Amino acid sequence: QQQQVGLSSPVGPSSLEVDGSDAEDEAWDDHLAAVPGGGDFRSLPWDARRALLQSHSFDLPCEVMAVNIRDVRYSQGSIGRRFRNGRPLASLVEDLVSGGVHPMEDNFLILDAAWLRGRRSGEPAYRSFDNRRLHCLKRCYELYKWPEQVRLRVYTLPKIVQKMLRNSSSDNNGQQVSIRGGGRSRDE
């Protein structure tokens, strides 16, 4: 793992692009085929997704870097009001404001992320897998204009995983598909 802490600007897509050899993609295909639900990565709970991404069977390249908080996006549309340990999100905001914890010093505030294009917008951005902690950091920034920078552990995902994340939109575990567009096709 590379360590690059204290960068003044985020690393752009060119430095995080994946070369993605066919062998690497085939290895991910084999690994994802074993995923419960027929390999539908997006059907997995976030904990299972994180475990897959942090799997020791693949040495995913990553680097820790400081990034402007405004450049980090959520990877989920909603979050719970509490952390898994039952602690309310507001308690982390209070700890940040009081100085009890600091995003550039406390390692639990390094957020796991990837440089991904949005499924709908196509816009590339850092997407955090730690949405509750990101929310607390962004809330603190919204209220106090601090912290401007957060640390991310940015994973370089193989191209096949990037494609799967970009294309996966099934709400029914891949059991059915609808055809977009109002006109009739020749096949109908």
- Contact 114/128 with Cβ under 8 angstroms? no
Q: At what angle do helices 131-144 and 89-98 cross, to 10 degrees?
A: 50
Comparing 18-22, 64-68, 104-108, 175-179, which segment has the lowest mean pLDDT? 18-22
pLDDT at position 65, please?
Answer: 96
Q: Average per-residue pLDDT in the chain?
A: 75
**pLDDT category of residue 50 using cuts at 50, 70 and 90:** low
Q: What percent of the chain has pLDDT over 70?
A: 63
pLDDT at position 42, please?
Answer: 57
Give the pLDDT confidence of 77-87 residue by residue, as tens digits.
899 999 999 99
Q: Which residue has the higher pLDDT, 136 or 123?
A: 136
Q: What is the mean pLDDT of residues 111-117?
A: 88
| Residue with the two structure tokens 């990565």 | 41
